[in-house]
Amino acid sequence: MYKFGELKDERIAQEIKKGLEPQNIEVIVSNDNHAEVYELFVTEKYHLPIAFDFYRVKLGFPPEHEVDPKWAKMSKVPLGIATKIFIIVSVVVFFLTNIMKNYDVLLFFYISDSNEHLDLIFSSGQWWRLITPSFLHFGFLHIVFNLMWLKTLGSIFEEVYKTKKFLIFFLVSAALSNILQFYVTGFKFGGMSGFVYALLGFIWVYPKLDKDFEYSLPKNDAMLMIFWFFLCFSGLIGNIANTAHGVGLGVGILWALFQAKATSYTTLIKWSSMAIFFSLGTFLIEYFQVFRMLKNIL
């Protein structure tokens, strides 16, 4: 057990215990008769910051920590085996291609060697190219941003659905997002963001469909996800694989719908439409260069 406070008033101690129950934080109140105080303990170490903040606020002090309990819970999930391997491969490939400037590795991981066709995959049988662009990153912030999300969200998916389903989810979302991105920009693209957005889409939507699912994306993070998507889509921060983002997000939403035990027609239509909007909508806008056309017209 981990102590986070003590009080002489048993009533307040019990109020703190009850106040933390909705956040799934188990609190034990222990009475030390010798010292005439009630000590407060949590059973999980990662609950300490949240419990201590609640304790301080109850005593009239301002909170020291502003960690969302949902995010605190998600961030403590053990790193999955496949998730760890993905992170290691991404870092090694980044080192070889960005630091060592090994262009042979770069060409090996690209989806193709031509902007016109995918013959390396469909004629030569190099099927690994459907997913290898996901392990390419072209800047420090690019890889850090993607792997931070992958570490948390990938571990959650792998923890709940195990490594086999995690890999299937990755293969589907990565392959679809990479293929459609190719038809928009050609072969020179990469990044784990297609899969990351698939994970975001799933963990954003699935808790709304299954109330027993113990993890959920905090509202602020969901808003950040959507804001970042449209910011990238606007073109204000350079060339981004927007189609991969949109397709990955759509796959994640659809995966949540299929995973749900029971879904009403209204819910099905609502989220299916959202998935189509993000995936097919992004692809068509990018493919036909709608923004560029509008800019030329105006």
Do 41 and 155 share a structural domain? no
Task: Give the total number of structural domains in the chain.
Answer: 2
- Find, among 227, 217, 288, 214, the residue nearest to 252 by Cα: 217
- Give the pLDDT of residue 261: 75
Do 26 and 135 share a structural domain? no
**Distance between terminal CA atoms of the chain?**
65
Continuous segment of H or E residues that includes residue 32 = strand 27-32
Q: Which CATH number is 191's domain given?
A: 1.20.1540.10
Do 35 and 126 share a structural domain? no
Instruction: Tell me the residue type at 55.
Output: Y
Q: What is the arithmetic mean of pLDDT over 60-65? A: 60
d(CA 70, CA 219) in angstroms, rounded, equals 10
Q: Which CATH number is 17's domain given?
A: 3.30.70
Do 254 and 234 share a structural domain? yes
Q: What is the arithmetic mean of pLDDT over 174-200? A: 96
- Give the pLDDT of residue 170: 98
Do 139 and 30 share a structural domain? no
- Give the pLDDT of residue 147: 96
Under the banding of pLDDT at 50, 70 and 90, the label for residue 182 is very high
Q: Residue 269 pLDDT > 80, yes or no?
A: yes
- Give the pLDDT of residue 217: 85
- Give the pLDDT of residue 73: 85
Do 191 and 107 share a structural domain? yes
Do 174 and 31 share a structural domain? no
Enumerate the H helices of 186-238 as residue ranges.
Answer: 193-209, 219-234
d(CA 158, CA 80) in angstroms, rounded, equals 6
Is the C-alpha dihedral spanning 144, 80, 110, 101 positive or negative?
A: positive
- Give the pLDDT of residue 141: 84
Domain-ending residue, one of 18, 47, 67:
67
Do 52 and 149 share a structural domain? no
Domain-ending residue, one of 14, 37, 67:
67
DSSP-based three-state secondary structure for 156: helix
Q: What is the extent of the structural domain holding 33? A: 2-67
Do 15 and 125 share a structural domain? no
Q: Catalytic positions, please?
A: 193, 245
- Find, among 265, 216, 227, 249, the residue nearest to 71 by Cα: 216
Which residues share a beta bridge with 37? 32
Q: Residue 67 pLDDT > 70, yes or no?
A: no
Q: Residue 64 pLDDT > 60, yes or no?
A: no
Do 152 and 233 share a structural domain? yes
Domain-ending residue, one of 67, 85, 100:
67
- Give the pLDDT of residue 5: 86
Q: What is the arithmetic mean of pLDDT over 109-129? A: 94
Do 182 and 41 share a structural domain? no
Do 80 and 30 share a structural domain? no
Q: What is the arithmetic mean of pLDDT over 169-196? A: 96
Q: Output b/e per residue, 158-176; b: 16+ Cβ within 10 A.
A: bbbeeeeebeebbebbbbb
Which residues share a beta bridge with 5? 40
- Give the pLDDT of residue 243: 95
Rounded to a whole number of angstroms, the CA Rg of the chain reads 23
Q: What is the pTM of this model?
A: 0.76
Q: Are 39 and 3 in contact (CB under 8 A)?
A: yes
Under the banding of pLDDT at 50, 70 and 90, the label for residue 99 is very high
Average pLDDT over the chain, rounded to an integer = 89
